A = this chain, B = another copy of it.
Amino acid sequence: MKTAKQNKLKKAGWTIGSASDLLELSAEEDALITMKLSLASNVKKLRKAQNLTQQELAEKIESSQSRVAKMEVADKSVSMELFIRTLVSLGASRQQIGKVIGSQSTDNKKAALNKSDDLLVSS
Q: Is the interface of A mostly helix, strand, loop or mixed?
A: helix
Of A35, A84, A100, most buried by chain B (CB within 10 Å of CB) is A84
- Chain B residues within an 8 Å CB radius of A101: 94, 97-98, 101
A34 close to chain B: CB less than 8 A? yes
A65 to chain B, nearest CB (A): 21
Interface size on A, residues (CB 8 A): 23
The quantity of this chain's copies bound in the complex is 2
Contact B28 A84 (CB under 8 A): no
Enumerate 27 A-B pairs (CB-CB under 8 Å) in ascending A order.
A28-B85, A28-B88, A28-B89, A31-B88, A31-B93, A31-B94, A32-B84, A32-B85, A34-B94, A35-B84, A79-B79, A79-B80, A79-B81, A80-B80, A80-B84, A81-B81, A94-B102, A95-B103, A97-B101, A97-B102, A98-B98, A98-B99, A98-B101, A98-B102, A98-B103, A99-B102, A101-B101
